Amino acid sequence: MSTPHDHEKREPDFGRDHAAKESPNDLACELLAQSLVAWRVAGSVARADDGALVIAGTGKDIRIERAPPHAMFRWTVTVDGRKRVAISLVAVLRQVREALDPGYAAIRVRIAVAPLVKS
Amino acid sequence: MNEAGGKLRQGRRQILKNNPMHSIPVSVLTGFLGSGKTTMLRHLLGQPEFARTAVIINEFGEVGIDHDLIEASEDSFIELQTGCLCCKIRTDLAQTLQDLLRRRDEGRCVPFERVVIETSGLADPAPILQTLMTDANIAGRLMLGGVVTTVDAVNGAGTLEREGISQKQVAVADRIVLTKLDLAGPAKPVLLRRLEALNAGAPVLVADHGRIDPARVFNSGLYDPRTKSTDVNAWLAEEAHGHAHARHDGDIQAYAIVRREPIQAVALTLFLEALAEHCGNDILRLKGIVNIRESPDRPAVIHGVQHVFHAPAWLDRWPSDDRSSRIVFITRRVPRRWAELLLAAIGDEVADVPVGR
């Protein structure tokens, strides 16, 4: 099970350049656990025997699985038995957030009309 | 004035209006109630460097007082009294700035070379910065010169303890100015520690009865009009070089993410989008220099306030031998680890996307 404080046991700069050091599932597991912290949602993330990531303690039954090779998407997210595909971890986060946080309304980036510096 | 002189003046106005090299810096002067903003501004406006300054004062309350304390040219001085700048009258602010520019273009006011917005003591500066970044009618001609926050040395520590808005005013500052040291004596370590915890990157200056060197206070944005250059290291300040030393003060946290490996442009875009999507309201300020894989010799500079971001600015060259990406976050309870993992996960997923040049 991954808890939000696992990273404190690792080297301080673990976050740097570490994309190549962990498998996608490890990264996804810890990202999901930290996402719960960021969203201020109680719960935990664990890996099931079949490799799926399971979010527990939230009142929802959520499973996240890697898509099979050559699929057009990378992940599937199952919330209370309803399965949806996700093309990226960002999309996974959005689906999980929508499931766990009823008041959630995505905020879209707005781009400033003026340049940051003169060019 | 003779006809030739009039045409010359008109021509100069047209050049100033159309030339992007003459963007006018806008400084935001903020600080909690009674922290000495108006006293300092009154002193600054008496300095030759501030002779051509337009001032916008936002007062909270039915009867404005602060403007009576400021001696400034009537035609470049505007008081907004309809409420708190941050939450009620952003449209008024944009309109006011447009009117100021129009009057300047038409020669109906002093051809000011700087704008100072003094917020009310209860204002959240972030929405004001957003207005400057997003209003199409003003953003092309005005640029953010920096955020200056006054802190009262007598009551500042208590105010920061009690008032969340005071913490936010300090957290987003480019410069912090301590006031009322004549009453408080030397700055108390507890206050200095608090300021450092909230915003270690901003230099802490001292105003003596409002007196302070103008050059040290303003021009604290990425572009320095004095040197006509960008000083990204000073702009990013200490946070970007503090590496793993995250700082936090209650809900507000400041930290830097450092990555030695270049970041694909698409990954940076997706990262900023995801930050805004999930924590847009809690990103008080974000600024950074990024090594983009597609542009190894020209780093990108990014700046955001909550969910509003500038398009990246591309520097001609790296400011030093350090080519690592450094992104400084000032947030309200956005875990550093989450931001690190999000960037790593997105970078991992887009790694197989072809890199264009």
Three-state SS for A75?
strand
Q: Is-above-0.80 flag for pTM?
A: no
**Residue pLDDT, tens place only, B91-146:** 778 888 888 888 888 888 878 888 999 988 888 888 888 888 878 778 778 888 88
pLDDT recorded at residue B68: 46
* pLDDT tens digits along B173-190: 989 999 988 887 777 888
Mean pLDDT of chain B: 79
B273-291 average pLDDT score: 91
DSSP B185: -
The token pair at A75 is 């992940």
Q: How far is B75 from chain A (nearest CA, A)?
A: 26
> What's the pLDDT at B152?
93
Between positions 108 and 147 of B, the ones with CB within 8 A of A are 133-136, 139-140, 142-143
In this predicted structure, the answer to whether residue B216 has a pLDDT above a threshold of 70 is yes
Q: Which two tokens stand for residue B306?
A: 């909550």
Using a CB–CB cutoff of 8 Å, tell me whether B28 touches chain A: no
Q: What gap in Å lies between CA B194 and CA B157, rounded to an integer?
A: 7
Separation CA B33–CA A80 (nearest Å): 51
Q: How confident is the model at residue A18 (pLDDT cuts 50, 70, 90)?
A: very low
Q: Is the pLDDT of residue A31 over 90?
A: yes
Q: Average pLDDT for residues A22-51, to the nearest whole number?
A: 90
Q: Which residue of A has its CA nearest to B25?
A: A117
The pLDDT of residue B6: 52
Give chain A positions within 8 Å (CB) of B281.
107
Predicted complex ipTM? 0.82
d(CA B203, CA B177): 8
Contacts of B347 in chain A (CB under 8 A): 19
Long-range contacts: B211-215, Cβ < 8 Å, 24+?
Answer: B211/B43, B212/B40, B212/B43, B212/B44, B212/B177, B214/B44, B214/B47, B214/B49, B214/B50, B215/B49
B238-352 and B14-230 share a CATH fold: no
Q: State yes or no: pLDDT of A8 exceeds 80.
A: no
* Chain B nearest-CA residue for A18: B344
Q: Write B321-325 long-range contacts (CB < 8 A, 24+).
A: B323/B291, B323/B296, B323/B299, B324/B258, B324/B259, B324/B260, B324/B291, B325/B257, B325/B258, B325/B259, B325/B260, B325/B262, B325/B263, B325/B288, B325/B289, B325/B290, B325/B291
A114: closest CA of chain B, how far (Å): 5
Distance CA B118, CA B335 (A): 32
Q: How far is CA B160 from the centre of its chain?
A: 20
CA A53, CA A99: separation in Å to the nearest integer? 15
Calculate mean pLDDT across residues B202-213.
Answer: 89
* Domain extent listing, chain B: 14-230, 238-352
Q: Name the superfamily (CATH) of residues B14-230.
A: P-loop containing nucleotide triphosphate hydrolases (3.40.50.300)
CATH match for B238-352 among 3.30.450.40, 3.40.50.2020, 3.30.1220.10, 3.40.50.10860: 3.30.1220.10
pLDDT surpasses 80 at B347: yes
Higher pLDDT pick, B84 / B139:
B139
> Given A17, A28, A107, which is nearest B261 (Cβ)?
A17
